[in-house]
Structure 1
Amino acid sequence: MSKLICKCGHVNPEGSELCQACGRTLTEEAAKRKTNDVMRYEGMARRSQTYHTSIIDKVWNFFSSVKVGVWLIVITLVASAIGTIFPQEFFIPQNIPAVEYYEDRYGIAGKIYYVLGFHDLYGSWWYMLLVAAIGTSIIIASLDRGVPLYKALKKQRVERHDSFLKRQRIYSAYEAKGSQDTLNRLSEGLKKRRYKVRVENGSLLAEKNQFSRWGPYINHTGLIIFLIGAMLRFVPGMYVDEMLWIREGETEIIPGTGQEYLLKNEGFTLETYQEGDSEVFDETIQRTGAIAKNFQTDAILYKKDDNAIAGSTDNITEVDHHAIQVNVPMKFDQFALYQTDYIEDELYKMSFTMDSKETGEPVGSFTVDLFNPNTSGLYELNDGYAVEISGYYPDFSGFDDGEPQSVSPLPNNPAFLFNMISPEHPDGEVAFVAIQQNLEPLGENDYEISFNGIETRDISGLTVRKDLTLWILALGGTIFMFGVIVGSYWNHRRIWIKTDADSNLYAAGHTNKNWYGLKKDIAPAFEYAGLDQPDDHQELKESKGNAKEEDESGTTREHK
């Protein structure tokens, strides 16, 4: 790596724009650039502007670009927006394969949506790659700029060359005012304004709020921690957000617990507001019907013993008994079960009778469990009568080429193909029975099946949640907001004072923002030393431009 040797003799790394000893510009390009642009990183060499040959250099330079970082964020935001066009896989019916659901429901657009992984956007590999790329860009961009800035601010020299002072926006020269007393009074006045003052060989450097330069880097640190927390949600065991639908009387394994915990639904309770309970709800009740006041699941939590078999409900121990309500979850072992939904009156069992058409009298009755029908045996009735289920269609949707069809395994519209066995017909008679349908596909029968009643039960919708990343996200967000505050409410202010052998005094000032605040801040110190406030050359340039325009036109124009 070649070096840049300043006229003062100081050796600067390649890529430097200002000499770190005296402040002279080291290249013609730096001399042509605006002072504020050069001073952004104190004129220090940045790796991305110095090395360009190896693969590592090219990768570093790519991710250190602010434009690349912005484009990565834009692409991620666009992808996130596209992910909201159709529902995510979590919200579609769980009894239908996702590939079939999206294509059947949304056509070719749904198929493309599924193939590209938008159906599970936040779990797709390419979305995780985008998030990782954003994190990489933030880290590299911060190191590329932060390390040189740290080195420059740590090694600031008090004495600066005249050319460095004259390039500053705030600058004035005071003839025959450079006495030691004046310098002491300036030092005293600036210290009163809480500046950190250093004096060497008739030169003075006063600095204030240097920490504010690290505001953006604190932001980046918070963002990186936040992104790490977001990515950890895809590590098994760190984050669980699952839905558990559990029917009354059932015992189910709680998803996300590694089959270690089970839950039994002892009963579901729904309470609604009645007219007269509250004036607030009376009008709404009359207009829309019932309003839920409380819905809860009385649940028992079980934990499997060490010798329990996976998938079995044997060898389990009761851990807790809890009424799960909205905003009153059951908590255990870093998990929480929230009551979030319910389904009332799901068909559970259907009762039938086998009747003689001739007499109209029933010869026996039987009950079919719609979730576990006896399709491999007989429902024994009285005196040699029996019924066999030859076909079960839980969600009957019609016939296709004479064959009954079911669109889902849920008993939303159950239909049966019964074989009725009687002493007169030992081989049985065939009947197709559905809600409001009773067909005899093989001819007229002597017996028929009639509905005798139904039994329903409620289903509780519970959200299983575990989040070990929440504190990481909160930490990242807190650090980010702290960086915003640091960068927004403070600014880095510096004043350089220099005296020469002829007792002339030169003053220059710089800040990364809020020039008006800087001028107002240093004015009392210069007044205390008996000096006029240093000039703001940008304001002088603008005022000269206004005066010239007034002279040429004869009128005054307001500049904004």
Structure 2
Amino acid sequence: MEKNVCVCGHENPVGTKICVNCGRPLTEEAKSQKVLDMKYDGSAIRSKTYNKSIVDKVWNFFSSVKVGVALIIITLVVSSIGTILKQEAFVAAGNEAGRAAFYEDSYGSFGKLYYTLGFSDLYNQIWYLVLVAMLGISIIVASIDRGIPLHKSLKNQRVRRHESFMKRQRVIAEGYVPSSDSSKVLDVVEEKMKKLNYKVRRDGEALLAEKGRFSRYGPYINHVGLIIFLIGVLMHKFPGVYVDESMWIREGETRAIPGMEGYFLENKQFIFETHDNDPTTAQIQQGVNAVAKNYQTDIVLYKQAEDALPGQTDNLEVVKEYSIRVNHPLEHNGYALYQMDFRLNELKEMSFQLTNKETGEALGEVAVDLRNPKKEYVIDENTKVELMEFYPDFSGFNNEGEPQTLSPNPNNPAFIFNMITPEHPDGEISFVAIQQTVEPAGDNTYKMAFSGIDTINMSGLTIRMDKTIPILFVGGFIFLLGLAIGSYWNHRRIWIQQFENGQIRLAAHTNKNWFSIKKDLDAITEHAHLPQYIDQLDDEKDKDKDEENDQEDQKN
């Protein structure tokens, strides 16, 4: 690799602006500056040096601050759009058609567009995860691109610097001290600097006082925290790391717990209690007829035997009996089951009489379990009813005239029956819904007459497990630590050199808060009788202001 050789003989990497050894400006840009750019102490930055190969171009793209800021803005905007409407995880519809119908029925054409573009399941979209990954890559590349050169320059900085380096600092001073103090001036300065909590290094008649170097690493500590946090977020997609599922379970039912492989839950009883006192006037105006006191599901948690097949419920082992209440979840093995919702008197079973429409004679009764309906219900040898289609949550007919279901829950059940009787051995087709019957083939002889319902209570539970919480906590803590370090501390450096004739040359630099370092310089100047310093940028501003005033006077 080519080297940039300084006059002092030190070999610097290509792209270095300020010699690491002596501080001489190496590039024409640096030589033309009245005040040196000390952002990275003139170190060679890869993204600003190489731009030939594909690797260089990809590296430069991700290391760009503009690209990083753009990715942050895009991610924030897109994430915000994902909060406008409900995500699919919180929609009861169980299939794609039901979810599409939900968004269109609930939010109109905007909801349909929202669902079509994938914003309804934004945080699981591949392109969104790629966007987050690109943001993480940008942060890592930018940190390596700038952080490593900065660390090397700060670690290897020399005490003695060339005159051109000293005179190109923002704050400089040059002059003489009284002859009586000249032999001890650096000793006096060193003593005073140490009292001001500076770390002092000496190289003969040269001195470097430094304070708060760690603050330069604040942004990179910040980046480390962000990367850890993003890793924790992306880990949600790995199985066994993050679970956020929901389940509905009826009284007396035993079901496998989604997200908890090998565990089953039995709902013994759901309890809904209200306060004895009457609701207030404000509550009555809001439509509240009773004030809830307690939502509770009495459950039994089972674990499947190790040698059992998936879904097998034989030989279940009782793990725990518990009463799940609001804010009192069932906790086991890192999982937590919360009481989130309930449904009282939900339809469990609907009964129909196969009835002759003309005579009213009933050939038999059919009871349809709305959670587990059968395909066929036999009444006698020549009479049976076939359940051809079942729509648990009937929402109407589509443009092709086909029935649609909004969700898998039996909120508004509808059926297509084929009624096989001695008079009609091939059957008669009938579409039956609540308060609606359609006979596609014309007027049927028989009908399915509604005869009764059976209801049951249901509990809505949420199952959560998150092993990434410690990772997110550590990432957030490191991010805030880096933010505090970069915001509330600053890196101050003061170089002083003394020559044989008693001349003193001083230069000072800080990455921010120039008032603080000037305050320290005032204390040192007064204590050690050093030459008065000047701020070259302030002097330049004053000079420009004087020139503007002169021009105004000439005009007037």
Q: In the TM superposition, what is the alpha-carbon distance from 1:283 to its structure 2 partner? A: 2.6
Taking the aligned partners of 1:401 and 1:544, their CA distance within structure 2 comes to: 79
Taking the aligned partners of 1:15 and 1:286, their CA distance within structure 2 comes to: 74
Residue 338 of structure 1 is matched in structure 2 by: 338
Residue 193 of structure 1 is matched in structure 2 by: 196
Residue 176 of structure 2 is matched in structure 1 by: 175
Check whether the contact 2:338–2:461 (CA below 8 A) recurs between aligned residues.
Answer: yes
Asked if residue 207 in structure 1 is aligned to residue 205 in structure 2, the reply is no
Residue 315 of structure 2 is matched in structure 1 by: 315
Taking the aligned partners of 1:514 and 1:463, their CA distance within structure 2 comes to: 51
Which 10-residue stretch deviates more, 217-226 or 324-333? 324-333
Residue 329 of structure 1 is matched in structure 2 by: 329
Residue 494 of structure 2 is matched in structure 1 by: 495
Residue 144 of structure 1 is matched in structure 2 by: 145
Asked if residue 134 in structure 1 is aligned to residue 135 in structure 2, the reply is yes
Q: In the TM superposition, what is the alpha-carbon distance from 1:225 to its structure 2 partner? A: 0.8
Q: In the TM superposition, what is the alpha-carbon distance from 1:513 to its structure 2 partner? A: 0.2
Which 10-residue stretch deviates more, 300-309 or 72-81? 72-81
Taking the aligned partners of 1:44 and 1:54, their CA distance within structure 2 comes to: 22
Taking the aligned partners of 2:431 and 2:93, their CA distance within structure 1 comes to: 29
Root mean square deviation of aligned Cα: 3.6
Taking the aligned partners of 2:26 and 2:430, their CA distance within structure 1 comes to: 98
Q: 1:251 to 1:537 in 2, by over 3 A?
A: same
Check whether the contact 1:307–1:315 (CA below 8 A) recurs between aligned residues.
Answer: no
Within-5 A mapping of 1:84-483: 84-97=83-96, 101=100, 117-177=118-178, 179-258=182-261, 260-276=262-278, 283-289=282-288, 290-351=290-351, 367-379=367-379, 388=385, 393-394=390-391, 395=393, 405=403, 407=405, 410-415=409-414, 417=417, 419=419, 434-436=433-435, 451-483=450-482
Q: Give the structure-1-normalised TM-score.
A: 0.86
Check whether the contact 1:266–1:299 (CA below 8 A) recurs between aligned residues.
Answer: yes
Check whether the contact 1:326–1:339 (CA below 8 A) recurs between aligned residues.
Answer: yes
Q: 1:7 to 1:98 in 2, by over 3 A?
A: farther
Match of 1:377, SS state, is: strand
Q: 1:98 to 1:502 in 2, by over 3 A?
A: farther
Taking the aligned partners of 1:399 and 1:135, their CA distance within structure 2 comes to: 47
Check whether the contact 2:208–2:493 (CA below 8 A) recurs between aligned residues.
Answer: yes
Check whether the contact 1:266–1:298 (CA below 8 A) recurs between aligned residues.
Answer: yes
Check whether the contact 2:5–2:11 (CA below 8 A) recurs between aligned residues.
Answer: yes
Which 10-residue stretch deviates more, 56-65 or 490-499? 56-65
Residue 558 of structure 1 is matched in structure 2 by: none
Q: 1:536 to 1:97 in 2, by over 3 A?
A: same
Deviations 1:225-281 (A, max 9, x none): 1111111111111111111122222211111123x111112222223345458xxx5
Q: In the TM superposition, what is the alpha-carbon distance from 1:505 to its structure 2 partner? A: 0.7
Q: In the TM superposition, what is the alpha-carbon distance from 1:484 to its structure 2 partner? A: 0.6
Taking the aligned partners of 1:403 and 1:155, their CA distance within structure 2 comes to: 79
Check whether the contact 1:99–1:114 (CA below 8 A) recurs between aligned residues.
Answer: no
Residue 30 of structure 1 is matched in structure 2 by: 30
Taking the aligned partners of 1:133 and 1:165, their CA distance within structure 2 comes to: 41
Taking the aligned partners of 1:413 and 1:214, their CA distance within structure 2 comes to: 62
Q: 1:331 to 1:515 in 2, by over 3 A?
A: same
Which 10-residue stretch deviates more, 267-276 or 362-371? 362-371
Check whether the contact 1:353–1:451 (CA below 8 A) recurs between aligned residues.
Answer: yes
Which 10-residue stretch deviates more, 88-97 or 504-513? 88-97
Q: What are structure 2's unaligned runs of at least 5 residues?
A: none
Check whether the contact 1:527–1:533 (CA below 8 A) recurs between aligned residues.
Answer: no
Which 10-residue stretch deviates more, 365-374 or 105-114? 105-114
Taking the aligned partners of 2:320 and 2:550, their CA distance within structure 1 comes to: 89
Q: In the TM superposition, what is the alpha-carbon distance from 1:68 to its structure 2 partner? A: 1.7
Deviations 1:136-182 (A, max 9, x none): 11111111111111111111111111221111111111224471212
Check whether the contact 1:230–1:469 (CA below 8 A) recurs between aligned residues.
Answer: yes
Q: In the TM superposition, what is the alpha-carbon distance from 1:30 to its structure 2 partner? A: 1.2
The residue type equivalent to 1:412 in the other structure is: N
Taking the aligned partners of 1:197 and 1:402, their CA distance within structure 2 comes to: 85
Check whether the contact 2:376–2:384 (CA below 8 A) recurs between aligned residues.
Answer: no
Taking the aligned partners of 2:516 and 2:400, their CA distance within structure 1 comes to: 87
Q: In the TM superposition, what is the alpha-carbon distance from 1:421 to its structure 2 partner? A: 6.5
Q: What are structure 1's unaligned runs of at least 5 residues?
A: 556-560
Match of 1:39, SS state, is: coil
Deviations 1:197-216 (A, max 9, x none): 11222111101111111001
Asked if residue 524 in structure 1 is aligned to residue 523 in structure 2, the reply is yes
The residue type equivalent to 1:6 in the other structure is: C
The residue type equivalent to 1:72 in the other structure is: L
Match of 2:128, SS state, is: helix
Taking the aligned partners of 1:505 and 1:479, their CA distance within structure 2 comes to: 43
Taking the aligned partners of 1:518 and 1:243, their CA distance within structure 2 comes to: 59
Residue 5 of structure 1 is matched in structure 2 by: 5
Q: In the TM superposition, what is the alpha-carbon distance from 1:356 to its structure 2 partner? A: 9.1
Match of 2:495, SS state, is: strand
Query: How many residues in Structure 1 have an aligned counterpart in Structure 2?
Result: 545
Residue 45 of structure 1 is matched in structure 2 by: 44
Taking the aligned partners of 1:340 and 1:295, their CA distance within structure 2 comes to: 9
Deviations 1:408-460 (A, max 9, x none): 554333456484979x9999999876544678987696x98655442212222
Q: 1:42 to 1:449 in 2, by over 3 A?
A: closer
Match of 1:35, SS state, is: coil
The residue type equivalent to 1:186 in the other structure is: V
Taking the aligned partners of 1:397 and 1:220, their CA distance within structure 2 comes to: 50
Taking the aligned partners of 1:376 and 1:359, their CA distance within structure 2 comes to: 25
Taking the aligned partners of 2:400 and 2:232, their CA distance within structure 1 comes to: 56
Check whether the contact 2:177–2:531 (CA below 8 A) recurs between aligned residues.
Answer: no
Match of 2:321, SS state, is: strand
Match of 1:206, SS state, is: strand
Check whether the contact 2:366–2:377 (CA below 8 A) recurs between aligned residues.
Answer: no
Q: Give the structure-2-normalised TM-score.
A: 0.86
Check whether the contact 1:99–1:111 (CA below 8 A) recurs between aligned residues.
Answer: no
Match of 2:186, SS state, is: helix
Taking the aligned partners of 1:399 and 1:508, their CA distance within structure 2 comes to: 82
The residue type equivalent to 1:172 in the other structure is: A
Residue 80 of structure 1 is matched in structure 2 by: 79
Match of 1:197, SS state, is: strand
Q: 1:373 to 1:17 in 2, by over 3 A?
A: closer
Check whether the contact 2:251–2:458 (CA below 8 A) recurs between aligned residues.
Answer: yes
Q: 1:347 to 1:11 in 2, by over 3 A?
A: same
Check whether the contact 2:346–2:456 (CA below 8 A) recurs between aligned residues.
Answer: yes
Q: In the TM superposition, what is the alpha-carbon distance from 1:329 to its structure 2 partner? A: 1.0
The residue type equivalent to 2:155 in the other structure is: K
Q: In the TM superposition, what is the alpha-carbon distance from 1:288 to its structure 2 partner? A: 2.3
Q: In the TM superposition, what is the alpha-carbon distance from 1:365 to its structure 2 partner? A: 6.0
Taking the aligned partners of 1:400 and 1:509, their CA distance within structure 2 comes to: 77
